[in-house]
Amino acid sequence: MIATKEMNMAPGALLRDRERDVIGVVTGFRAGRVQLRPAGGGIPWGACPEQLETVDRRGELNARVRELNLHSSDRRHW
């Protein structure tokens, strides 16, 4: 689904940036662009709202699991 006024663009929402073909977490807004960061953390970027689309449930779960896996591999339990 392409971005609409009804789309949830609140901080914490997951959206796919069609231009980059990446799922990102909304962190805020600046200069008419939606600020996103990779779901697993990393360098944030700005995207035009017209380039964003909602993420289906499967895409959302994949992104959340990827994020959890990245954070869990940072800790070593020996």
What pLDDT band is residue 53 in, cutting at 50, 70 and 90?
very high
Report how far residue 42's alpha carbon sits from residue 44's, in angstroms, rounded to the nearest whole number: 6
Q: Give the pLDDT confidence of 2-41 residue by residue, as tens digits.
A: 555 557 789 999 999 999 988 899 999 999 999 999 877 7
Phi-psi region of 27 (alpha: psi -120 to 50; beta: other; left: phi over 0): alpha
Average pLDDT, the chain: 83
If you write DSSP's letter for every residue of 54-75 in order, what string do you get?
Answer: E--HHHHHHHHHHHHHHHHTT-
- Across the range 39-68, mean pLDDT stands at 86
pTM for the full model?
Answer: 0.72
pLDDT surpassing 70 at residue 76: no
